[in-house]
Amino acid sequence: MTITAPATDSKRHATAVIRPGLLDRLKALHGLRTDSALAGAIGISESTLSKLRNGGEPSISVVTSIVQGFGLGFGEVVIAVDALTAAERRELKKLAA
């Protein structure tokens, strides 16, 4: 039996994303006034925060930081791209443009 590695795609799309709008809701609910404060609370850079807002796939450590830091469940933080509604997909594409 031969096992072949899957082809890599330089334009690989995320399979899971932070739920649309979650980061801004957390920021408001916890009185974090700046993106720098939100990024610090999660333990990431502002650059990584921007990538997540624009549909970048989060690492498990980032998701775990959000789960633990804000008392959420994993399912409340991430969503599979396939499970996004049409409106959420449009919003994600608009952000990534």
Contact 52, 14 (CB under 8 A): no
pLDDT of residue 8: 45
Domain boundaries, the chain: 16-96
pTM of the prediction? 0.74
Judged against a pLDDT cut of 70, whether residue 1 lies above it is answered with: no
Q: Return the higher-pLDDT residue of 72 and 3.
A: 72
Which whole number is the average pLDDT over 64-82? 93
Query: Domain 16-96 - what CATH class?
Result: mainly alpha
**Long-range CB contacts (< 8 A, 24+ apart) of 48-54?**
49/23, 52/17, 52/18, 52/23, 53/18, 53/23, 53/95, 54/95, 54/96
pLDDT of residue 6: 43
Q: What is the CA radius of gyration of the chain?
A: 15
Q: Rounded CA gap, 76 and 59, in Å?
A: 15
Judged against a pLDDT cut of 60, whether residue 45 lies above it is answered with: yes
Task: Label residue 72 by pLDDT band (50, 70, 90).
Answer: very high
